[in-house]
Amino acid sequence: MLTFSTTIVLSLIEYFCVVILHVVYAYGHFGIEDTLFVALGFIPMLLTILFFRLLKNETIIVRIFYISMLLASYLMSWKIQTLGMLIMVYFAGALMIALHSNSKLMIEYSIVSAIIIILMAVFQMDTIDKVCPSQLYYIYMILYAFGMVTLIFMTNGINNYKQKMEEKNEEAQNALEAKGNFLANMSHEIRTPMNAICGMAQLLSERNLGVEESEYIETIQKSSESLLSIINEILDFSKIDSGKMEINEDEYHFNSLIHDVLSIIEFRLKGKSVKLVTDINPNIPRILIGDELRIRQILINLLNNAVNFTHKGSITLKIVWVPQGEDKGVMEVEVRDTGIGISDENMGKLFKAFGQIDTRKNRNVEGTGLGLAISKNLLELMGGGIWANSIPDYGSTFSFTLPQKVKDRRPSNYKNDHNVVVRQNDEFKISFKAPNARVMIVDDNKVNLHVAFEIMKRFGFEATMIDNGAEAVNRIEEHIITYDIIFMDHMMPYMDGVETTEKIRALDTQYAREIPIVALTANAIKGVEKQFKDAGMNDYLSKPIHVNQLNDILKRWLPLEKQIRVVDGEEMKSMQKDVVMTKEQREEDMLFSLKNVDVETGIRNCGGNRNVYIRILQTFSSSNLSSGLENYYDEEDWDNYEVIAHSIKGACRNIGAGELAEKAYKLELAGKSKDAGFIKQNHNDFLNEYKDLISTITKSIIEANKAGN
């Protein structure tokens, strides 16, 4: 269907031609005075253009045009005695209304124009006879009537068709939205348990297990990574199919990109009689600008295909750079293998969705058949192209070109030496520790909380775990302690991560506005990143959580003064020297070095006053309750034992030592019921924990006092 502006332009051109013909005719037969009068016929054009610029109501604009056009055409024809031909002009004007596809206006125009034509037949037939016989004029009138009825029916038909198309389009949009919601939910529902599987397997792999158990864990890790790869391919294809895939260009180091890709492929080749060869031009610029993630994905897709279908010989990765000026160029990549090759009849299936070739023959090959289709679409989105050549039983060559911008023109000088490539199966080494970091994890899933908590312990701190958004908002609003970073689950009931973040940012404090918030998301649908940023989140971390990604996030957002470099397993100095900390900051760091104590709860129990809490800790650490408990235990005086256990329980709850308070409560109940067996079984362990807590608190108080001096 034509747009309204196009319809107006076509109508004005048509009417302009009509006026020009009248002006030329008037000038040739009547003289300059009549010609100037006829030239007033341009007024409807000027009015239409003026109102088109001033008004947005299309119906009013069309009505102004057709009414002024009817009157002006009549006056022009009357002046130069061409009324007999006016029916043709009116019918031409009707086409404009028909193009606008407004049946109501079409009926209006038909009635108004018919009235003028009939009145002319009644009162001005003498004038009309000068141009054409009256019989011919009546025939014109009949034809005009049929024409107008036809146009009305045509307009109604167009409107009905347009309405059906709009309904179909709305249905399609609803279907696309439902598909997007389904994919988002599927992504979240699948990745949530996968997060637990991958996370727990990763934690187990770091234990000193037997050979057989280690092999089991490695199998779980490989299988879960394969499943995630399949999920990602399906989601990527769906994003491309729905037009939601976006290319995010940024600076990246070429050598780092190739290093990562070859690490993965070399691990895949482990145990195969296939050699990986690289032929990479050393003059490729050091730092390029492009979508590093998608380029890595394309390279891995092509090289993975080569690995899957090559059982002996070699796989060659060749990359050259074709400069196109100082700040841009084209990367030409070739992946060549000596695999089974592709027949001519199967070449047409390449780059098509779900297009695995020779399915029965290659049944043992993993994958969805989407890799090449995704690569092709990604390259086209980035302005590149891809093609393939193959000879059955001799191998295949996949080539692609990709334009890139240049940030640093210095040559990358990539060295084709695989001995320096770190294997993918080597354990990732964290680059720093942050024992004094205060991190909040918000997730409604207990398993996810536990996985994230255990993984973060590798960085030397124990995170605070919160299972709902409302509690997270309350803690930031109370600001009893200062968290360094919040990891916020995306999908939670009642109040999701986006809403929780918006509420935190809306709090009228600098702390709430500036605290880094990182989304924990199992939703791989494109668009959520923008949603996170719009809500006020600083970054996002995909589930399943990988230690290397977590390392980068923490390193980026934790205060530098709290990061201690780790080199070859040894802790170095702080990553930022000579940082001046306030007394309150030092006290807070000392307090949160306490183990098995929820300091935030303790401070909240003291009305949010840190100084009061420190005084209560001093009282707690100087109490003589442990000796009293021991004496009554030795004397088996369970009545007084119950009283002391009750006092210890209350004191522990006040300072936030909840677990120890619960143990004291059980001993209190045992003393009350004279359960000597339970007391004797648990007394010594409890007493040791209680004494250790007192010792830890005493040391912490001493350090806090030093910080205040």
| Complete DSSP assignment for 260-307 | HHHHHHHHHTTTSEEEEEEEE-TTSEEEEEE-HHHHHHHHHHHHHHHH
* pLDDT given for residue 359 in this prediction: 41
Q: What is the mean pLDDT of the chain?
A: 81
Q: Where are the alpha helices (DSSP H) in 536-591?
A: 547-557, 583-591
**How far apart (Å, rounded) are the C-alpha atoms in residues 97 and 340?**
65
- Residue 366 to residues 20, 226, 229, 233, 304, Cα–Cα distance (Å): 72, 8, 10, 12, 10
pTM check: above 0.75: no
Show the tokens assigned to 207: 């234990």
* pLDDT given for residue 210 in this prediction: 78
**How far apart (Å, rounded) are the C-alpha atoms in residues 244 and 240?**
6
Please say whether the beta carbons of 549 and 515 come within 8 A: no
- 569-572: Cβ within 8 A, 24+ apart: 569/429, 571/433
* pLDDT given for residue 517 in this prediction: 93
Section 382-400 average pLDDT: 90
**How far apart (Å, rounded) are the C-alpha atoms in residues 140 and 17?**
21
Whether pLDDT at 342 is above 50? yes
Whether pLDDT at 628 is above 60? yes
Q: Which CATH superfamily is domain 432-578 in?
A: Response regulator (3.40.50.2300)
**How far apart (Å, rounded) are the C-alpha atoms in residues 163 and 287?**
53
- DSSP annotation string for 429-473: PPSEE-TT--EEEE-S-HHHHHHHHHHHGGGT--PEEE-SHHHHH
Question: Considering only 256-265, 477-486, 685-694, which range has the smallest mean pLDDT?
Answer: 256-265
Show the tokens assigned to 540: 């996002």
Q: How confident is the model at residue 548 (pLDDT cuts 50, 70, 90)?
A: confident
DSSP H or E segment with residue 386: strand 385-391
Q: How confident is the model at residue 147 (pLDDT cuts 50, 70, 90)?
A: confident
**How far apart (Å, rounded) are the C-alpha atoms in residues 521 and 529?**
10
Task: Check residue 637 and give left, alpha or beta (phi > 0: left; psi -120 to 50: alpha).
Answer: beta
Buried b (16+ CB within 10 A) or exposed e, 569-585: eeeeebbeeeeeeeeeb
**How far apart (Å, rounded) are the C-alpha atoms in residues 467 and 91?**
72
Residue 148 corresponds to which amino acid? M
* pLDDT given for residue 503 in this prediction: 92
Please say whether the beta carbons of 98 and 154 come within 8 A: yes
In the beta sheet, which residues pair with residue 385?
A: 401
Q: Which of 138, 146, 143 is CA-nearest to residue 121?
A: 138
**How far apart (Å, rounded) are the C-alpha atoms in residues 643 and 583?**
38
Please say whether the beta carbons of 94 and 107 come within 8 A: no
What are the pLDDT digits (tens) for 3-16? 778 878 888 888 88
CATH number of 250-420: 3.30.565.10
Section 23-46 average pLDDT: 88
Section 194-223 average pLDDT: 74
Question: Considering only 22-26, 362-366, 679-683, which range has the smallest mean pLDDT?
Answer: 362-366
CB under 8 Å to 334, separation ≥6 — which residues? Answer: 316, 317, 318, 319, 397, 398, 399
**Which of residues 575 and 388 earns the better pLDDT score?**
388
**Which of residues 526 and 237 earns the better pLDDT score?**
237
Question: Considering only 212-226, 655-669, 685-699, which range has the smallest mean pLDDT?
Answer: 212-226
**Which of residues 359 and 156 earns the better pLDDT score?**
156
Whether pLDDT at 332 is above 90? yes
Q: Give the domain ranges of the chain.
A: 4-132, 250-420, 432-578, 588-708
Please say whether the beta carbons of 259 and 301 come within 8 A: no
Please say whether the beta carbons of 664 and 550 come within 8 A: no
Task: Judge residue 685's burial from the number of C-beta atoms within 10 Å of its C-beta, 0-12 exposed, 13-18 middle, 19 or more buried.
Answer: exposed
Show the tokens assigned to 222: 């490989």
**How far apart (Å, rounded) are the C-alpha atoms in residues 85 and 580?**
94
What are the pLDDT digits (tens) for 68-96? 888 888 888 888 888 877 888 888 778 76
Q: How confident is the model at residue 406 (pLDDT cuts 50, 70, 90)?
A: very high
What are the two backbone dihedrals, phi and then psi, of residue 439, each rounded to the nearest 5 degrees? Answer: -120, 135
* pLDDT given for residue 316 in this prediction: 92
DSSP H or E segment with residue 697: helix 676-708
Please say whether the beta carbons of 77 and 47 come within 8 A: no
**How far apart (Å, rounded) are the C-alpha atoms in residues 503 and 510?**
14
What are the two backbone dihedrals, phi and then psi, of residue 7, each rounded to the nearest 5 degrees? Answer: -60, -45
Q: How confident is the model at residue 487 (pLDDT cuts 50, 70, 90)?
A: very high
Q: How confident is the model at residue 405 (pLDDT cuts 50, 70, 90)?
A: very high
Q: At what angle do helices 547-557 and 446-456 cross, to 10 degrees?
A: 70
Residue 673 corresponds to which amino acid? S
Please say whether the beta carbons of 232 and 242 come within 8 A: no
DSSP assignment letter at 353 = T
Section 123-129 average pLDDT: 82
* pLDDT given for residue 408 in this prediction: 87
- DSSP annotation string for 111-163: HHHHHHHHHHHHH-HHHHHTTS-HHHHHHHHHHHHHHHHHHHHHHHHHHHHHH
Most confident of 181-190, 194-203, 338-347: 338-347
Whether pLDDT at 199 is above 80? no
Show the tokens assigned to 77: 């024809």
Whether pLDDT at 322 is above 90? yes
